[in-house]
Amino acid sequence: MMGISPGWGWLLLPVCQALVVPREVSGRTGETLSLRCWYPSGYEGYNKYWCRGASRDSCRKVVETAGREAPQRHGRVSIQDNHIFCVALLNIEKLSKTDAGSYWCGVERMGRDLMEPVTVRVVPG
């Protein structure tokens, strides 16, 4: 990993192989937090979403792509899907303590959705 600036380490992750999210991310209050969720090849046109809650069955959708690459926004939260790199990017603007908790990246499909959890921590700015 020598010689690679920390911000670009995500490029080394497997692209279009599996549903992958970081286990945990942290951001400072007032700043914008970015979360990346990689998904397997073949799901480009599917609806990607982020939902919030302790379990996959009870989490509530925060924002979703509706299968498009154009950014979708809901309040301070936005999602953008990149079909080339198979990654759905979540941005939470003006991060606050109330944004901390469990989130899930999901890909809607027939049967059980693909879902992976990520914990968001918020530290004082």
Residue whose structure tokens are 């959705």: 113
Instruction: Give the pLDDT confidence score for residue 16 in this predicted structure.
Output: 83
Does residue 91 fall inside a structural domain? yes
Domain that holds residue 40: 24-123
pLDDT below 50 — which residues of the chain?
1-5
Does residue 59 fall inside a structural domain? yes
CATH of the domain at 66: 2.60.40.10
> Using one digit for the tens of pLDDT, what is the confidence trace for 84-107?
989 999 999 999 999 999 999 999
Does residue 14 fall inside a structural domain? no
- Which tokens belong to 46? 């599917």
* Residue pair 95/32 in contact by the 8 Å Cβ criterion: yes
Does residue 83 fall inside a structural domain? yes
What pTM was computed for the model?
A: 0.86
Number of domains in the chain: 1
